[in-house]
């Protein structure tokens, strides 16, 4: 962790110090000024912004190191600035309080934007190293002459609105070299550290997840649950975004979902999430497992960036992203699969996920995570390459390795992908798949049409070579034969091919569940 | 006050918008011009160059959001939007730009709505050059309009579009105070036709603009509307519209 300490102000720097709270301000302070745009022609000066070096930073320090309501301005102050010019800007706040820890720094820092925008004639935009401030001519006319006045007003708001801040001190810097130096040596390492913490933050570390129902307008039963280990499937919302939105509008589309009891630590099932999902989906479903592909998977709205599809033929999962136009090895395109999966349903065999979910430590952990992934569109694989366990990076095929199931089978055998011999899921070391059974070639993949009494097209029956799932398509009802887990209600699209009647179907080592088979004589036209 | 100008392409909608902006800006610089028609070229008609659009920012947001770590996405987007607002002489200009690409924009648009709402409440006048489909109103990226000006010529298509816009307004439940019609490029004969149309559709005619050689000329040469001479009939009549909004309505 980056050490938190006061920044060093070089000897000889131009320094102005102001102590204690301000009696009155020459400007109004109110939330109504939020969003106020100070136009170039009304602007006295610009601080930071597109052309200057800039940052804002909050650091938590021990109580005895913070001098409450002290402001230090380093570099030219407002009354020494030239009208119409832009200046570098660094804002540092030291905060202390018995409840304040480093974790709270970003939460406090974010409020600088809100509070400073309450100040009339002061525009604050963006955050961190992107801040952009403008001060209006009007304010200067009304008596604003020092940045210390701005700092005092901001600190006052901080203490009023966030009472856990017991002491606060500010250092505002307009001296270019110093802004640059502190940005590089102190602020950037702290921002990086915070972002790394995102990857370190897990479902078990928080009390609440957040919901997202932005998509309910077109997927009425969809409820996205956003947890630290599972960003939204549209890729837009992380747990941090959910928290920020829920704070602003607790009844809005992002609401807090208390986790409740942990029911299945591996699948990621929580009683609070189940209750919420049941209520918000109008009873459409009662369970959601956050990190499972096959059992009570998360619903998919239609917004997902990528779609995962189970291929029983290889007992593995493939992923294709929205931008990939060609059919995946299962013969289906993104849009075909999306059409089947979207709309806020729990569809076993297909799952919409956001690209950011591939970074998750809990990525499909109930089903073996990366060890169950056999194919990815190349662009997608490139984007998330660094998150694939090293030993698997070359074992996951792309369209360059395999375009069809047969090519995929060959590839997986060649690289000895875990699905071939059986997947051991890393999370608990349990072997979850049996691996492929011996391949029996009793039926050639394409049989020659045989003369039959009935016209061939009247009796389309599809059969695939023995071992792996055969999809039989009688005239009416498509029937899926699944070799894998008997409990699964696998969704199968009817295969478009029409094979001639009169071939032998051999299914070995398979458990078959069939709800209904209807065989009818084809009606003569 | 939000004034939306809509109509079929080619009817002179952007000409009217640009002139409205031109005249209002002379009286009040708390004016935001919004180009909400990807097919129009309001900046050109105003004689300004705009490099970046809101659409481009939204696309940038879509591709960079994974890398934002714990940053606040709303603040990020707001900062970028304020950057693309062009500060012109006497008014600000926001170009909405191209429509969404593929993928999910629910979150981006939800943030946008909040940001634009906050931004817009600080202007006294907002003039929106909108395409006939009123996309930004239907998506609520632009919250509402107080007045809608439908620009039409005397063509059947122009009038049909005008009628559809009016119906769409009702469908979208945009809480407008009034819907007006401005007829452009009309001769005496067409005037009667349009009057009847306005009567049938219960639309108030704000002004008839005559066919104007000068307008054609600046159009051909790609000059801004400010190049119109003050004696031009179109110039004078749009000025009257603005006076109406500035005085009578306000």
Per residue in B174-208, pLDDT (tens digit) is 778 889 999 999 988 889 999 999 999 989 999 99
Of A110, A214, A241, the CB nearest to B106: A214
Residues of chain B contacting A356 with CB distance shorter than 8 Å: 66
Does A127 contact B122 at a Cβ distance shorter than 8 Å? no
Distance CA A93, CA A101 (A): 14
Average pLDDT over residues B99-126: 85
Does A41 contact B122 at a Cβ distance shorter than 8 Å? no
Per residue in A118-143, pLDDT (tens digit) is 999 999 999 999 999 999 999 999 99
The proportion of chain A whose per-residue pLDDT surpasses 70, expressed as a percent, equals 85
B112 to chain A, any CB pair closer than 8 A? The answer is no
Per residue in A56-102, pLDDT (tens digit) is 999 999 999 999 999 999 999 999 999 999 999 999 999 999 988 88
B65 to chain A, any CB pair closer than 8 A? The answer is yes
Place of tokens 């001479």: B229
Average pLDDT over residues B137-143: 82
Pick the CATH number of A208-421 from 1.10.150.120, 3.90.1580.10, 3.40.1470.10, 3.10.440.10: 3.40.1470.10
Residues of chain B contacting A322 with CB distance shorter than 8 Å: 102-103
How many residues are there in chain B? 250
**Where does residue A429 fall: left (phi above 0), alpha (psi -120 to 50 degrees), or beta otherwise?**
left
Distance CA A110, CA B31 (A): 30
Average pLDDT over residues A442-452: 50
Query: CATH number for the domain including B89?
Result: 3.40.50.300
Distance CA B68, CA A236 (A): 10
Residue A197 three-state SS: helix
Per residue in A166-195, pLDDT (tens digit) is 999 999 999 999 999 999 999 999 998 888
Higher model confidence: residue A210 or residue A498?
A210
Distance CA A29, CA A154 (A): 10
Place of tokens 């009247």: A458
- What residue ranges of chain A are covered by domains with CATH 3.30.1650.10? 15-199
Average pLDDT over residues A16-40: 92
Per residue in A340-389, pLDDT (tens digit) is 887 778 888 999 999 889 999 999 999 999 999 999 999 999 999 999 99
How much is the pLDDT for A224? 87
Q: Strand ranges (DSSP E) for B116-171?
A: 125-130, 147-152
Distance CA A140, CA A78 (A): 9
B108 to chain A, any CB pair closer than 8 A? The answer is yes
How much is the pLDDT for A514? 77
How much is the pLDDT for A295? 92
Place of tokens 């926001």: B94
Does B75 contact A126 at a Cβ distance shorter than 8 Å? yes
Residues of A with CB under 8 A from a CB of B: 34-37, 39-41, 50, 106, 110, 113, 125-128, 130, 132, 191, 194-195, 197-198, 212, 214-215, 232, 234-237, 240-241, 244, 253, 301-305, 322-323, 355-356
Distance CA A506, CA A393 (A): 35
Contact A290, A251 (CB under 8 A): no
Domain range for B179 is 2-249
pLDDT band at B249 (very low <50, low <70, confident <90, very high): low
The terminus-to-terminus CA distance of chain B in angstroms comes to: 9
**Where does residue A474 fall: left (phi above 0), alpha (psi -120 to 50 degrees), or beta otherwise?**
beta
Place of tokens 């592909």: A293
How much is the pLDDT for A473? 41
Strand partners, B148: B4, B179
- What residue ranges of chain A are covered by domains with CATH 3.40.1470.10? 208-421
Average pLDDT over residues A309-323: 94
Which phi and psi angles does B3 have, rounded to 5°? -110, 120
pLDDT band at A442 (very low <50, low <70, confident <90, very high): low
Per residue in A233-256, pLDDT (tens digit) is 888 888 988 888 887 778 888 899
The proportion of chain B whose per-residue pLDDT surpasses 90, expressed as a percent, equals 46
Per residue in B113-133, pLDDT (tens digit) is 888 988 998 899 999 999 888
Count of structural domains, chain B = 1
Per residue in A198-214, pLDDT (tens digit) is 778 899 999 999 998 88
Rg of chain A's alpha carbons, rounded to an integer? 31
Domain A15-199, CATH 3.30.1650.10 — does that match? yes
């Amino acid at each position: 962790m980056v050490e938190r300490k006061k920044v060093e102000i070089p000897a000889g720097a131009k320094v102005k110090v102001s102590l204690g709270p301000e009696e009155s301000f020459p400007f109004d302070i109110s939330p109504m000024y939020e969003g106020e745009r100070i136009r170039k022609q009304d602007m006295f000066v610009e601080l930071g912004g597109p052309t200057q070096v800039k940052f804002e930073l909050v650091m938590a320090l021990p109580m005895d190191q913070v001098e409450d309501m002290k402001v230090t301005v380093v570099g030219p102050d407002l009354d020494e600035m030239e009208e119409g010019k832009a200046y570098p800007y660094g804002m540092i706040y030291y905060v202390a309080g018995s409840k304040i820890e480093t974790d709270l720094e970003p939460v406090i820092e974010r409020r600088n934007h809100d509070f400073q925008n309450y100040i009339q004639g002061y525009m604050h935009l963006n955050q961190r190293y992107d801040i952009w401030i403008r001060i209006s001519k009007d304010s200067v006319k009304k008596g604003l002459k020092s940045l210390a006045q701005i700092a005092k007003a901001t600190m006052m708001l901080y203490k009023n609105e966030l009472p856990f801040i017991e002491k606060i001190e500010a250092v505002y810097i307009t001296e270019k070299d110093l802004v640059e130096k502190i940005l590089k040596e102190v602020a950037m390492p702290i921002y990086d550290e915070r972002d790394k913490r995102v990857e370190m933050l897990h479902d078990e570390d928080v009390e609440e997840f957040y919901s997202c129902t932005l998509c309910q307008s077109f997927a009425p039963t969809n409820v996205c649950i956003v947890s630290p280990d599972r960003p939204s499937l549209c890729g837009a919302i992380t747990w941090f975004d959910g928290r920020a939105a829920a704070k602003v509008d607790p009844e809005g589309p992002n609401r807090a979902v208390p986790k409740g009891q942990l029911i299945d630590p591996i699948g990621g099932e929580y009683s609070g999430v189940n209750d919420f999902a049941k209520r918000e989906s109008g009873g459409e479903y009662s369970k959601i497992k956050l990190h499972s592909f096959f059992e009570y998977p998360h619903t998919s709205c239609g917004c997902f960036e990528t779609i995962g599809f189970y291929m029983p033929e290889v007992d593995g999962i493939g992923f294709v992203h929205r931008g990939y136009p060609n059919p995946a090895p299962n013969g289906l395109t993104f849009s075909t699969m999306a059409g089947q999966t979207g709309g806020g349903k729990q569809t076993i065999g297909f799952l919409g996920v956001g690209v950011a979910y591939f970074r998750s430590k809990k990525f499909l952990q109930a089903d073996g995570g990366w060890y169950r992934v056999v194919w990815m569109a190349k662009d997608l694989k490139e984007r998330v390459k660094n998150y694939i366990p090293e030993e698997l990076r070359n074992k996951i095929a792309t369209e360059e390795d395999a375009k069809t199931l047969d090519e995929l089978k060959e590839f997986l055998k060649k690289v000895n992908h875990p699905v071939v011999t059986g997947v051991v899921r890393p999370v608990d070391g349990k072997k979850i798949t049996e691996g492929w059974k011996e391949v029996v070639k009793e039926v050639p993949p394409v049989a020659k049409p045989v003369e039959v009494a009935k016209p061939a097209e009247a009796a389309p029956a599809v059969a695939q070579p023995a071992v792996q799932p055969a999809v039989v398509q009688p005239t009416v009802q498509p029937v899926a034969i699944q070799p894998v887990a008997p409990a699964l209600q696998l969704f199968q699209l009817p295969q478009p091919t029409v094979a001639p009647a009169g071939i032998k179907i051999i299914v070995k080592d398979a458990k078959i569940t069939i709800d209904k088979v209807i065989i009818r004589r084809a009606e003569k036209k | 006050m939000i004034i939306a100008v809509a109509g079929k392409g080619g009817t002179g909608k952007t000409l009217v918008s640009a002139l409205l902006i031109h005249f209002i800006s002379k009286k009040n610089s708390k004016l935001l011009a919004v180009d909400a028609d990807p097919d129009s070229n309001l900046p050109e008609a105003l004689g300004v160059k705009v490099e970046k659009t809101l659409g481009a920012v939204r696309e940038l947001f879509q591709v960079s959001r994974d890398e934002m770590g714990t940053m606040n996405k709303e603040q990020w987007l707001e900062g970028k939007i304020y950057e693309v607002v062009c500060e012109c002489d006497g008014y600000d200009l926001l170009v909405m730009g191209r429509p969404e690409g593929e993928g999910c924009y629910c979150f981006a648009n939800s943030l946008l709505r909040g940001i634009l709402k906050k931004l817009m409440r600080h202007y006294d006048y907002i003039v929106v050059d909108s395409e006939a489909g009123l996309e930004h109103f239907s998506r609520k990226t632009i919250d509402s309009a107080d007045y809608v000006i439908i620009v039409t010529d005397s063509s059947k298509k122009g009038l049909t579009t005008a009628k559809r816009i009016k119906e769409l307004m009702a469908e979208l439940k945009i809480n407008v105070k009034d819907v007006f019609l401005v007829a452009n490029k009309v001769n005496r004969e067409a005037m009667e036709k349009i009057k009847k149309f306005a009567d049938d559709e219960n639309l108030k005619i704000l002004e008839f603009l005559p066919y104007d050689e000068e307008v054609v000329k600046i159009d051909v040469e790609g000059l801004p509307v400010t190049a119109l001479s003050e004696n031009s009939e179109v110039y004078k009549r749009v000025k009257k519209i603005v006076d109406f909004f500035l005085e009578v309505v306000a």
